[in-house]
């Protein structure tokens, strides 16, 4: 039934208040310690509104007063900082041979980092049960620390549509799997949201929030695993495309006569510059870390064949990055995963190719750097996505005070 009404509805007021609470929370996150007057001056909200919003945030234990005051002309102002002590955000990354879990506090401080062996390739149902068992242990640990879980975001190496359904995750053997829904069921309605996203997307969010170039509005993260995918942040926002499948740079064809790719085509970026191509053999995921160490050792020792392989891979990777530079004009492209230990040998070739192939002067200002977040960047990005939800207004409320 359609009713016509005049004036704003209660829902509108609630929306405005949630939006304003988020505005104040973000301001405190970025500028703490800060006073109520600082918030009013910078946000344009009037002082009474700010006082009411801050009281609400203090009540939700998202913000607290420090007890410190700032000496100003006139009355001293009580300073505010993020609280968040009763909360945690959880990110989980599912890989072929392991699951990583990261929990952070509201300010992004790391509370827990776990890596557990995991063997994908049963049914998606069995895999979900195994992941749910790990999540339950993380949630249990947070509960013992008297922290309420704000949300869980799960990173999957595969195509995840905008609804969060995993369409294809070739290395996990999943197809059309509603992992988020199944996980929520396996966790028996856990009281927090469960989101699922592509691993490169979440790693890009981790870089944007926690990386060496945190705050960059135009950033691309490249996964350096057997597969190569891109998480694309433009104008400050993750760009998923119409159905959620953006960023498949790994299957841009660089050489029509190149080696066969896992996707069935030839000469894709990941077939010429993925970790499998660099290590030059078919490896089980568990063998990769050892092989990478061997490669690094050989490169350090000046092994000519290994140096030539890394240079060739770096050039191919650079051709891929130059596609990104020409198309998206990112300020920074972050190489992640196993590209990180190989970066001293890959980066010079990558940068030379980008400078050579980008039409804009100096690669359009595109810097290429190695990630500083380690192999669990996507799990950390899961926590970042949960924090992003809080920052955009999905605030926890009505928690019972822990006395
Ligand atoms: Zn391919």
- Going from the Cα of 268 to the center of ligand 1, the distance in angstroms, rounded, reads 5
Considering only CA atoms, which of 215, 224, 205 is closest in space to residue 337?
Answer: 224
- Going from the Cα of 4 to the center of ligand 1, the distance in angstroms, rounded, reads 54
Are 169 and 96 in contact by the 8 Å Cβ rule? The answer is no
Per residue in 68-124, pLDDT (tens digit) is 676 666 667 899 999 988 999 999 999 888 899 999 999 999 999 999 988 877 778
- Going from the Cα of 366 to the center of ligand 1, the distance in angstroms, rounded, reads 25
- Going from the Cα of 317 to the center of ligand 1, the distance in angstroms, rounded, reads 14
- Going from the Cα of 36 to the center of ligand 1, the distance in angstroms, rounded, reads 54
- Going from the Cα of 85 to the center of ligand 1, the distance in angstroms, rounded, reads 45
First to last CA, the chain: 47
- Retrieve residue 91's tokens: 């990110």
- Going from the Cα of 235 to the center of ligand 1, the distance in angstroms, rounded, reads 28
Q: What is the mean pLDDT of residues 26-49?
A: 94
Per residue in 279-307, pLDDT (tens digit) is 977 777 778 889 999 999 999 999 999 99
Are 45 and 53 in contact by the 8 Å Cβ rule? The answer is yes
- Going from the Cα of 231 to the center of ligand 1, the distance in angstroms, rounded, reads 17
- To the question of pTM greater than 0.85 for the whole model, the response is yes
**d(C-alpha 127, C-alpha 183), whole Å:** 10
- Going from the Cα of 378 to the center of ligand 1, the distance in angstroms, rounded, reads 22
- Going from the Cα of 252 to the center of ligand 1, the distance in angstroms, rounded, reads 7
- Going from the Cα of 271 to the center of ligand 1, the distance in angstroms, rounded, reads 7
């Amino acid at each position: 039934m359609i009713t016509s009404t005049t004036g704003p509805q209660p829902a509108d007021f609630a929306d405005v208040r949630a939006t304003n609470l988020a505005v104040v929370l973000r301001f405190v996150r970025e500028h703490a310690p800060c006073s109520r007057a600082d918030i009013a001056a910078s946000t344009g909200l009037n002082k009474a509104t700010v006082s009411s919003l801050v009281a609400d945030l203090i009540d939700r234990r998202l913000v607290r007063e420090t007890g410190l005051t700032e000496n100003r002309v006139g009355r001293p102002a009580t300073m505010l900082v993020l609280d968040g002590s009763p909360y945690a955000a959880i990110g989980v990354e599912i890989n072929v041979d392991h699951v990583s879990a990261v929990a952070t506090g509201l300010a992004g401080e790391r509370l827990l980092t776990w890596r557990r062996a995991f063997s994908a390739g049963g049914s998606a149902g069995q895999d979900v049960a195994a992941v749910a068992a790990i999540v339950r242990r993380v949630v249990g640990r947070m509960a013992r620390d008297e922290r309420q879980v704000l949300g869980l975001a799960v990173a999957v190496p595969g195509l995840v549509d905008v609804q969060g359904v995993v369409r294809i995750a070739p290395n996990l053997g999943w197809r059309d799997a509603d992992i988020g829904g199944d996980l929520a069921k396996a966790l028996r309605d856990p009281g927090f949201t469960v989101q699922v996203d592509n691993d490169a997307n979440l790693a890009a969010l981790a870089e944007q929030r926690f990386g060496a170039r945190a705050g960059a509005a135009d950033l691309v993260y490249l996964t350096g695993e057997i597969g190569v995918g891109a998480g694309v942040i433009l104008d400050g926002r993750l760009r998923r495309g119409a159905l959620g499948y953006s960023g498949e740079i790994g299957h841009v064809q660089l050489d029509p006569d190149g080696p066969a790719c896992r996707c069935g085509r030839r000469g894709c970026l990941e077939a010429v510059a993925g970790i499998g191509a660099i290590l030059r053999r078919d490896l089980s995921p568990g063998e990769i870390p050892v092989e990478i160490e061997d490669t690094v050792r050989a490169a350090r020792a000046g092994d000519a064949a290994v140096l030539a392989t890394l240079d060739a891979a770096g050039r191919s990777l650079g051709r891929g990055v130059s596609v990104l530079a020409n198309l998206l004009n990112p300020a920074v492209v972050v190489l992640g995963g196993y590209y990180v230990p190989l970066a001293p040998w890959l980066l010079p070739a990558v940068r030379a190719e980008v400078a050579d192939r980008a039409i804009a002067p100096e690669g359009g200002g595109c810097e290429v750097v190695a990630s500083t977040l380690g192999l669990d960047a996507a799990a950390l990005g899961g926590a970042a996505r949960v924090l992003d939800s809080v920052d955009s207004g999905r605030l926890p409320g009505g928690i019972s005070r822990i006395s």
